[in-house]
Amino acid sequence: EAGVAQSPRYKIIEKRQSVAFWCNPISGHATLYWYQQILGQGPKLLIQFQNNGVVDDSQLPKDRFSAERLKGVDSTLKIQPAKLEDSAVYLCASSLRLAGASYEQYFGPGTRLTVT
Amino acid sequence: GEDVEQSLFLSVREGDSSVINCTYTDSSSTYLYWYKQEPGAGLQLLTYIFSNMDMKQDQRLTVLLNKKDKHLSLRIADTQTGDSAIYFCAESPFGYKYIFGTGTRLKVLA
């Protein structure tokens, strides 16, 4: 079974530039998550999709971050414009279902973003 | 509020047991998880425990849950150098949203 794929693995941009990350979840996984992991901290949920609908985006800085999952499969996360404090690893995860049982979240390798 | 706390570092000798502790705040958390993160990699689920359980054992891993104190621990028996990584606990209110701790960096000395 193929895992969660993310690209690119690394990205360096200057502040005020734009950047986009791509995630392809495990086939058949309805729920997709984007997390931000700042160095030395645990992952923080940015947005959660169930199929192509947003379930939770309460911690997404909507003035600069956006995400979509148009066909309910792969997803993109965009930052525009980037700030220095956006430097982090962006993790994508997927799971079979949303709630009601312990459905393991499978994580991709992440995209390490450096904003200079 | 939502806050999961862990100690930052733990160092043990190879062959000893490691105990990583975690405190959480949301009493409605139905599942509690332990994840492992190796350098440059994503998170890998090690084990989880349902909130109506006190203990769960899975090979070298033992999870203890004290709901009264909202305390979770992960014991790794016979710790090996390959166990060196960052360990995250996570709570899951109502079974869907994960709230991760700050992570404990385990260093195993040969």
Cα B7 → chain centroid: 11
pLDDT exceeds 80 at position A99: no
Q: What is the pLDDT of residues A25-47, one digit of tens each?
A: 999 898 999 999 999 889 999 99
Pairing mode, if any, of strands A88-95 and A106-107?
Answer: antiparallel
Tokens of residue A107, six digits: 């994580």
Residue in this structure with the two tokens 């606990």, named with its chain if needed: B89
Q: What is the mean pLDDT of residues B61-70?
A: 94
The predicted structure's pLDDT at residue B1: 46
pLDDT exceeds 90 at position B94: no
Residue in this structure with the two tokens 């965009």, named with its chain if needed: A78
> Can you tell me the distance from the alpha carbon of A74 to that of B8, in angstroms, rounded to the nearest whole number?
34
A39 in B contact zone (CB under 8 Å): no
Among B43, B47, B91, B100, the strongest candidate for a mutation testing the A interface, having the largest count of A CBs within 10 A, is B43
Beta strands in chain B (DSSP E): 5-6, 9-13, 18-23, 29-37, 43-50, 55-58, 61-66, 71-76, 85-93, 99-100, 104-109
pLDDT exceeds 70 at position A102: no
Q: What is the pLDDT of residues A59-76, one digit of tens each?
A: 999 999 999 998 889 999
Pairing mode, if any, of strands B9-13 and B104-109?
Answer: parallel
B4 in A contact zone (CB under 8 Å): yes
Alpha-carbon gap: A20 to the closest alpha carbon of chain B (Å): 19
Q: What is the DSSP letter of A85?
A: G
Q: Say whether B101 and A42 touch across the interface (CB within 8 A).
A: yes
B103 in A contact zone (CB under 8 Å): yes
Q: What is the pLDDT of residues B3-57, one digit of tens each?
A: 899 999 999 999 999 999 999 987 777 789 999 999 888 899 999 998 888 999 9
CB of B92 within 8 A of CB of B32? yes
Q: Say whether B42 and A108 touch across the interface (CB within 8 A).
A: yes
